[in-house]
Amino acid sequence: MTLRVDLKLIAEWIAPRAHVLDLGCGDGALLAHLREASNCRGYGVDIDDGHVLECIRGSVNVIQADLESGLRMFSDDMFDVVVLSQTLQAMHNTEGILREMARVGKQGIVSFPNFGHWKHLLSLTGGHMPVSPQMPYQWYDTPNIHLCTPKDFEILAAKLGFAITGRALLADSRPVNWAPNLRATLAVYRFEGK
């Protein structure tokens, strides 16, 4: 199974034998990879019936639940790492899910599309909402409701008292070092909340 570029990076940031919770886990690709490559164990959470079935077919532990309801089914510090990959922008209660990640995990990792990418800004200047490989929806059918930039996430993390312990800004699967807030299409952050 081929991992998306952000999931490859996330997998590199997770220590062998870690206990992992993957929120919005999709088909369970990250957890399956971590199980095979790093002897990690854990659970995925997803609301989509099709994703849950794919996880079960891949022998990935999965719980069908709505993340908007919180993570009450998990106790404090139950996981070494909690992952939320390319789902943050679709959450109604962004602060709530980040706080819950920090509560149930020792470390959190999020990835999200960078709404500040120069092509998005150009599209807005031209009078249109952006459509890109990272945000492939039209304005009227998008699940993305809270678009942000890396700077926006850093401000929110500071407000929540999180310490950012890792950051990668990527474009075309490669790190972006020069003008990353304008040139990166994808942001990946690792944080600790306590």
* Residues ≥6 apart with Cβ < 8 Å to 140: none
Tell me if 148 sits within 8 A of 115, measured CB to CB.
Answer: yes
Residue 136: per-residue pLDDT: 74
Task: Read off the pTM.
Answer: 0.90
- Which amino acid appears at position 38 of this protein? S
Q: What is the pLDDT of residues 169-191, one digit of tens each?
A: 999 889 898 988 888 999 999 99
Residue 118: per-residue pLDDT: 67
CATH of domain 5-192: 3.40.50.150
Q: What is the pLDDT of residues 72-88, one digit of tens each?
A: 999 999 999 999 999 99
Cα 125 off chain centre by: 28
Residues 152-156: contacts with CB under 8 Å, at least 24 apart? 153/88, 153/110, 153/112, 153/187, 153/189, 154/189, 156/94, 156/95, 156/98
Domains of the chain, by residue range, sit at 5-192
* Phi–psi pair at 8, nearest 5 degrees: -60, -45
